[in-house]
Structure 1
Amino acid sequence: MKNGENYRSHVQSWLQPVKSLVPTISAEVFAGELDLKKIPPASDRLKFRLSTLFGVWKAEDHRDWGAIRLWAGELKKLFE
């Protein structure tokens, strides 16, 4: 994703209010999947469809399962 690292930092900032209320051992953010068929209502689905046509998003699975498993493995070690 263009400017992905800037976006990632921005998304991490959304967690700050939660982190201020809940003790955090480890927190990470990962990309998800954009499946247009799962977006309700139709008006929102249309907005996402248009944004994919203009190249803002790609309607696909963006998850990095290797990175997720690595983080989960490190998290598991914290609880052993």
Structure 2
Amino acid sequence: MGIGLGVFLIVIGAIMSFGVKATLADFDLTTIGYILMGGGLLVILLTLLVLMPRTRRARSTAVTTDSQGRQAVVERDDRISGV
């Protein structure tokens, strides 16, 4: 949802900045368009930052059997940080 919202804001901002030639007494539509484009870019960057995985995981499962026939399951979850 965040990336779509960011693209939507960029498109609306570009239309207001480059496509609309109307003038209003109290508002500068070109500046509002640039602000919307900047906000859309910020939304996209923040969404990507939140959605990016901060760690990678390596998972492994080992099943061992002792001399009496009992089985033990060992699960290992290693995290590789700094990626």
Q: Pick the TM interval, shorter chain.
A: 0.3 to 0.5
Larger Rg: 1 or 2? Answer: 2
TM-score (norm 1): 0.33
Q: Which has the higher helix share?
A: 1
Higher normalized strand content (fraction of residues): 2
